């Protein structure tokens, strides 16, 4: 069925904060966690605060696109500022919440250790539990200087604006040619869902519209890029239709994701996690594990094993499309980077069931069934699409030093590095927590004895089981059975809510 754009919702692009559906344009980002010290003063500050809307960021993107040909290499200014609040922060501002409707948000990430298999919050390096943390400013730009400029022009001075800075996390895109790659070296953020919906092309009362995620040439009508499924926006922002988990196809529109209270309309929950990465230790473990796989019809090397653990080569090419060697024609920034399903690999012989991308987004896999019918696979994919997230992470920390690489050990301290993970959802429990608990941490997902996600899986055990692949022999008995340590460690996190700009304006004017 051809895509009917007129049946998709029209977004009020001047009301929705940019980071939710579009993503703030950034090469640098400061996450400034704050406490409200004077409610009256802070509300006056909110009333005049210039937050970056979808419209602002879409205009920035248009300028970037226009300059790609005319001024290649020119850096376009992309100042950005968004805001989100904790449960206690909203209470400080007089927002009455029904805690039963959003239990995880109200409890806070630190109280969800059992659900997430996280380390105790008492051991966190940052953001240990405190009722004094009321929110976070998300400040972005094309350079560190631009971020500082936004802070100076829009946020300073804290004491005169009713808030106090508690902690700052600083992220930055890694340098070329690994820009857009996380510290293990793999392309990051290449599998974002497309979002159904329209944006106005001008400010007329009845403007012409365009798709937020256009269907590109060669893609199916239900896709943006080839392989990038289009999802209904209620999965990511309140007040819009979401997915239908019981539908025969993921394309079927589901019910409206109504906001738990009117204040939450056009807003979204924000999940933040500081994930430290032990890069030299990861590289050493992959190398030693590859060397241990001998006497098999499936030749192994560290690059191939790392690709099997992630599900992609470092270029971004999915291993399902490149089983033995990297294929730049299917890497990041190509039309086919996401053009695949797992239906042709039902036994996990090419891409392991526990590979990170298969755990976090199993596409058309059917849990517990390696011989499903097409109908069963379509139903499973419709269910899978109700657990997606819009990820907005960025790397933090310096590059690995030569000394760390030679010693195969992270130096720690000011050389700590990793990912500042952020995502936007309308259900923390059924999206972020479900994926972490039921998929990534579950040794029996999507098939029995698959193993834990070797990248972001959390476990109380020092070694985690991982079943590899056997692409050459095609024999499930040849899958390497590995025990791997954890190389990504949670160092702190929190749950927030990012309201619409319109609702914040109303709140600022309220007594």
The stretch 89-112 carries a mean pLDDT of 95
pLDDT higher than threshold 90 for residue 280: yes
Res. 304 pLDDT band, cuts 50 70 90 = very high
Residues recorded for the chain: 511
167 and 126 Cβ atoms separated by less than 8 Å: yes
pLDDT higher than threshold 90 for residue 69: no
- Residues 427-477: tens digit of each pLDDT: 999 999 999 999 999 999 999 999 999 999 999 999 999 999 999 999 999
- Residues 355-393: tens digit of each pLDDT: 999 999 999 999 999 999 999 999 999 999 999 999 999
DSSP 8-state secondary structure symbol assigned to residue 94: T
Res. 74 pLDDT band, cuts 50 70 90 = confident
As a whole number of angstroms, the distance between CA 322 and CA 405 comes to 28
User: Residue 149 is inside which H or E element, if any?
Assistant: helix 144-150
Mean pLDDT of the chain: 96
| Cα-based distances in Å from 297 to 102, 285, 302, 312 | 51, 22, 16, 22
219 and 225 Cβ atoms separated by less than 8 Å: yes
Residue in 159, 126, 160 with CA at minimum distance from that of residue 31: 126
pLDDT higher than threshold 70 for residue 196: yes
- Residues 305-327: tens digit of each pLDDT: 999 999 999 999 999 999 999 99
* Per-residue three-class SS string for 411-428: CCHHHCCEEEEEEEECCH
pLDDT higher than threshold 90 for residue 41: yes
- Residues 401-430: tens digit of each pLDDT: 999 999 999 998 999 999 999 999 999 999
Helix axes 501-509, 39-48, angle to 10 degrees: 130
The stretch 76-80 carries a mean pLDDT of 96
Instruction: Record the pTM.
Output: 0.97
The stretch 254-279 carries a mean pLDDT of 97
The stretch 50-63 carries a mean pLDDT of 97
The stretch 120-139 carries a mean pLDDT of 95
The percent of residues above 90 in pLDDT, for the chain, comes to 94
Identify the pLDDT of residue 1. Answer: 64
305-320 CB burial, b ≥16 within 10 A, e <16: bbbbbbbbbbbbbbbb
Identify the pLDDT of residue 186. Answer: 97
500 and 265 Cβ atoms separated by less than 8 Å: yes
Domain assignments of the chain as residue spans, ordered by start: 5-274+493-509, 279-389+442-491
183 and 417 Cβ atoms separated by less than 8 Å: yes
């Amino acid at each position: 069925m051809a895509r009917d754009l007129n049946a998709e919702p029209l977004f009020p692009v001047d009301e929705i904060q940019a980071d939710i559906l579009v993503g703030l344009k950034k090469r640098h980002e400061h996450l400034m966690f704050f406490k409200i010290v004077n409610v009256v003063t802070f509300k006056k500050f909110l009333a005049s605060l210039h937050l970056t809307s979808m419209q602002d960021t879409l205009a920035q993107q248009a300028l970037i696109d226009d300059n790609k040909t005319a001024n290649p290499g020119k850096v376009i200014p992309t100042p950005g500022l968004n805001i989100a609040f904790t449960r206690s922060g909203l209470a400080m501002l007089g927002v009455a919440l029904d805690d039963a409707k959003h239990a995880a948000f109200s409890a806070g990430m630190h109280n969800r250790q059992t659900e997430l298999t996280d380390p105790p919050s008492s051991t966190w390096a940052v953001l240990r539990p405190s009722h004094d943390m009321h929110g976070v400013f998300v400040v972005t730009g094309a350079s560190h200087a631009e971020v500082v400029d936004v802070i100076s022009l829009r946020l300073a001075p804290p004491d005169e604006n009713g808030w106090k800075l508690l902690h700052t996390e600083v992220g930055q895109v890694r340098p070329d040619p690994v820009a857009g790659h996380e510290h293990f070296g793999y392309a990051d953020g290449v599998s974002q869902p497309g979002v159904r919906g329209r944006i106005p092309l001008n400010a007329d009362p009845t403007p012409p519209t365009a798709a937020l995620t256009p269907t590109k040439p060669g893609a199916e009508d239900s896709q943006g890029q080839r392989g990038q499924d289009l999802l209904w926006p209620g999965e990511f922002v309140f007040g819009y239709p979401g997915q239908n988990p019981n539908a025969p196809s993921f394309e079927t529109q589901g019910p409206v994701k109504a906001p738990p209270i009117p204040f939450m309309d056009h807003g979204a929950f924000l999940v933040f996690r500081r994930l430290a990465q032990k890069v030299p230790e990861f590289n050493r473990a992959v190398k030693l594990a590859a060397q241990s796989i001998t006497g098999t019809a499936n030749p192994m090397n560290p690059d191939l094993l790392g690709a099997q653990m992630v599900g992609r080569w470092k270029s971004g090419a999915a291993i399902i499309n490149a089983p033995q060697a990297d294929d730049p024609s299917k890497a990041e920034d190509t039309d086919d980077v996401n053009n695949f399903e797992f239906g042709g690999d039902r036994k996990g012989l090419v891409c392991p069931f526990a590979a990170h991308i298969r755990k976090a987004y199993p596409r058309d896999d059917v849990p517990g069934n390696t011989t499903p019918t097409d109908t069963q696979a379509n139903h499973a994919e419709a269910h899978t699409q109700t657990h997606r997230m819009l990820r907005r992470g960025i790397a933090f920390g310096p590059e690995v030093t030569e000394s760390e690489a030679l010693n195969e050990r992270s130096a720690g301290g000011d050389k700590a590095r990793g990912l500042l993970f952020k995502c936007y959802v309308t259900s923390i429990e059924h999206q972020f927590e479900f994926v972490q608990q039921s998929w990534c941490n579950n040794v029996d997902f999507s098939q029995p004895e698959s193993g834990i996600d070797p990248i972001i899986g959390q476990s109380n055990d020092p070694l985690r089981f991982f079943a590899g692949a056997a692409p050459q022999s095609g024999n499930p008995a040849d899958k390497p059975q590995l025990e791997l340590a954890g190389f990504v460690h949670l160092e702190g996190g929190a749950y927030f809510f990012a309201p619409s700009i319109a609702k914040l304006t109303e709140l600022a004017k309220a007594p």
